Amino acid sequence: MNRRKCLLLLIALLPLLPLHAKDNKILARLFAWTDSVRRTTTFPDTLRAQRHMQYDFSLPRRNVFLATVPHMHPFVRSERRQFHGELFSSVTATERGPISSFDLLHLTNLPRRRLPLVPVQAYLTPHPFATTIVGDHLLSPLHSANRRFYRYSIETDSANCSRVRFRPRIKNTQTVEGEAAVVDSSGQVLWCRFNGEYDHVQFSLRATMDTAAHSPLHPSDTQVDAKFSFLGNKVLATLTTTEDTTSATAIDSLRVASQILQGTSSADSHHSRRRINRTAENVWEAIHENMLRRISSDFGSDERARFSVGPLFNPLYFGYSKSRGVTYRLNADFSAQISRRCNLFLGLSGGYSFKLDEIYLNTPLRFTFNRRRNAFVQAIFGAGNRITDSGVADKLKQLPKTDSVRFDEMQLTYFRNLSLRIESGCNLTPNLSFKVGGVFHRRIALRRQAFRDANQPTVYRTFAPVAEIIARPWGENGPQFQADVEHGMRHIMHAVSGYERAELNALHTFALPCTRMLNLWAGAGFYAAKRGSTYFLDYANFRRNNLSGGWRDEQTGEFELLNAHWYNASPYYARLNATYESPLLMLSFVPWVGRFVERERLQLSVLAVERLRPYVECGYGMRTRLFSAGIFASFSHRGYEDVGLKFGFELFENW
């Protein structure tokens, strides 16, 4: 009886087996089609097109909080809630590189003729067959490496075409759902549609692929429907683009709706009736332009010069960590292209720690006189970064071997550190570069009166020639090896100490499928031939990063929970830092919460210094549309040491 039931079940399933096999073949052809096109098609170095874009924006709900969104302040003061426009532009793009455009004609009733919702504009130039659809986010279901993140179903659309539907296995802001029309015989995609939500924007993207032989992976027509919601505000947008890569369409063919011109004139007349409130509008506009958003402008001959200043007050620039407390940072820069070979750059990075009551400053001035060789000369002025003298290391050696070293109970000597570094360098070969120069430090005691009472100087100067060489044996995408040498010279520029410092550093980033990354850093350094009554241990690749930059912090060999004095307390160090980053890792699998997680990171750091070896930190971090946060725990040869948090705002970071 059981055999009969099994036989009947097999007979019933037989019609389904060929269908399942056919589905697998269509999916296999779909994923192989992109690689086949890339192998058999010769793409031009640049792809030039003329783009015609039509857009509509509406604000069903708005309030004063809309002014905190970049580029949205004019819409708070405007009486209109419906905006329309058409834009005719020339576009130049590479297969995967940056896209540049030049506006030929723009008719609109938008305030100040500025398109809102800046991130939505990137959806008009998607890459449906790359690992990510837009920029470095949104995992494409049409790429074979992302197949494990999606479930697929196939329906017959016509005699030779099928419709492939996909939905994410895990609901996350990095995944999308939608469908694509696929040719059964070849796997070519005729059009595709993606629905998702990323960075406060819910979107529906439809792209019709260009069937021309030279750009079958490039969409010819794109439509984006987007909804932005934030603190009671709602903005709806529809943008449609059509590109012509075969002929130069005349500008006269641009279709301009009559309501645009009428809306513009009516808005202008209404604006003239409200001149009495112009002063108040100017005040609000000045506050928004200078306090809440980045200020930038091009000027000079052919607009070759540019300056940019970060917002004077922006939540994005606040951060928190256990060691530094609440911090605030500000960035500004100026650049000018003097000629095809030469350019000038002046930067300013500043910050303030409320817990330490300390101001940090880093100001590089760089003149590049051969851009092809990256030949330059630069001067870097730095302030802040309080330091202790070398007596700390000597006192540690004299202490009995207890279970802990309590820095707070030691009478440390604090100095304010001012530095000036002048150097020059260039690329000897594409895989080898060097820098040579000199560094001058002026360290001023914070408690000057105590030094005077002890008949000790309050200012200590050091001067040292420095040299650095960087090797990339396997090119830009391979590992990088760096060697730094510094030779302190006494009696030069009133220097009071001599020393030898040497450091070795190696780093490499492994780019893994699905936008995952494994970053490895290893380094070691030591001080030798210390001469003079006082010297300072100030490493280049093992130091505190006082100007923290949020999720994309510069790698400086910093340990999140390590007491600041350990950076200057040992004549040698050896460290290893490793981070693994992925869009879907741990918290992403938690229901409801995981859908907002954009990136996750695991971190492991190991350190060996005098009287503290080994020291280990492990941590977990994640980034959402609002903030980035991390939790860290530290261990040493004594066992568990400490636990701490790190927090930073990421709101509108990409806007």
Q: What is the pLDDT of residue 552?
A: 66
Give yes or no: residues 241 and 298 share one domain: no
Considering the domain architecture, whether residues 384 and 504 belong to the same structural domain is answered as yes
Of 114-123, 194-203, 312-321, the one with minimum mean pLDDT is: 312-321
**268: nearest Cα among 75, 502, 80, 58:** 80
- Does residue 213 share a domain with residue 134? yes
pLDDT value of position 66: 82
- The whole-angstrom distance between residue 273's C-alpha and the CA centroid of its chain comes to 45
Interval 581-625: pLDDT, tens: 998 888 888 878 888 888 999 999 999 998 888 999 999 999 888
Q: Is residue 616 part of a domain?
A: yes
Question: Are residues 222 and 362 located together in one domain of the fold?
Answer: no
Whether 240 contacts 222, CB under 8 Å: yes
Q: Judge whether residue 401 has pLDDT over 60.
A: no
Is 274 a domain residue? Answer: no
Please give the average per-residue pLDDT across 69-75, as a whole number. 78
Q: Are residues 242 and 300 in the same domain?
A: no
Q: In this predicted structure, what is the pLDDT of residue 294?
A: 65
Cα dihedral 535/575/557/373 (nearest 10):
90
Tell me the one-letter amino acid at 538.
D
Res. 110: pLDDT tops 70: yes
pLDDT of the residue at 298? 72
Q: Could you say which of 246, 272, 304 is where a domain stops?
A: 246
Mean pLDDT, residues 69-92 taken together: 80
Same domain (yes/no): 320, 221: no
Identify the top-confidence range among 124-138, 234-248, 426-440, 534-548: 426-440
CA dist., res. 202 & res. 417, Å (int): 49
CA quadruple 549, 553, 555, 559: dihedral sign? positive
Tell me whether residue 600 is in a domain: yes
Q: Is the pLDDT at 568 greater than 60, yes or no?
A: yes
Give the pLDDT band of residue 484 (cuts 50, 70, 90): very high
521, 555 contact by CB (below 8 A): yes
Q: Would you state the pLDDT for residue 495?
A: 85
625 shares its domain with 502: yes
Domain limit, last residue, from 209, 225, 246: 246
- Which comes out higher in pLDDT, residue 286 or 107? 107
The mean per-residue pLDDT over the stretch 168-189 comes to: 89
Residue 259 lies in a domain: no
In a domain, residue 283? The reply is no
Q: Is residue 252 situated within a structural domain?
A: no
pLDDT at 249: 46
Is 568 part of any domain? yes
Question: Which of the listed ranges 12-16, 389-393, 544-548 does the model predict with the highest average pLDDT?
Answer: 544-548
Q: Give the count of beta carbons closer than 10 Å to the beta carbon of residue 176.
A: 25
Number of independent structural domains in the chain: 2
β-partners of residue 327 are: 319, 353
Determine the pLDDT at residue 109. Answer: 83
What is the model's pLDDT at position 18?
A: 41
- Mean pLDDT estimate for the chain: 78
With tokens 């809440």, the residue in question is 292
- Residue 391 inside a domain? The answer is yes
Sequential DSSP letters for 524-582 = EEEEEEEESS------SSSS---S--GGG----S--SSS-GGGGGS-SEEEEEEEEEEE
> Are 315 and 204 in a shared domain?
no
Residue type, 277: N
Q: Which pLDDT band, with edges at 50, 70 and 90, does 577 fall under? A: very high
Residue 16 confidence (pLDDT) above 60: no
CATH code, domain with 345: 2.40.160.50
CA distance 550 to 647: 8
Instruction: Identify the domain containing residue 432 by its residue range.
Output: 294-649
Torsion angle in degrees (nearest 10) through CA of 404, 407, 409, 415: 170
Residue 15 confidence class, pLDDT cut points 50, 70, 90: very low
Residue 5: its pLDDT value, please?
57
- Is the pLDDT score of 644 beyond 50? yes
Please check whether residues 480 and 619 belong to one and the same domain: yes
Q: Which of 600, 633, 639 is nearest to 618 (CA)?
A: 633
**Do both 220 and 306 map to the same domain?**
no
One domain, residues 547 and 638:
yes
**pLDDT at res. 301:** 65
Name the band, by pLDDT with cuts 50, 70 and 90, for residue 476.
confident
Q: Which of 246, 279, 313 is the last residue of a domain?
A: 246
Residue 268, pLDDT > 50, answer no
- The confidence score (pLDDT) of residue 44 equals 55
Indicate whether 226 pLDDT > 90.
yes
SS3 439: strand
> What pLDDT is attached to residue 255?
46
pLDDT confidence of residue 320: 72
* pLDDT for the residue 288: 56
Q: Per residue in 17-39, pLDDT tens?
A: 444 555 678 888 888 887 777 66
Please say if the pLDDT value at position 565 is more than 50. yes
CA angle 196, 518, 655 (to 5 degrees): 40
Do 228 and 374 share a domain, yes or no? no
Share of the chain above pLDDT 90, in %: 25
Q: What is the pLDDT, as a whole number, of residue 480?
A: 94
Min mean pLDDT across 37-51, 355-369, 510-524, 588-602 is at 37-51
**Percent of the chain surpassing pLDDT 70:** 75
Helix (H) or strand (E) holding 28: helix 16-40
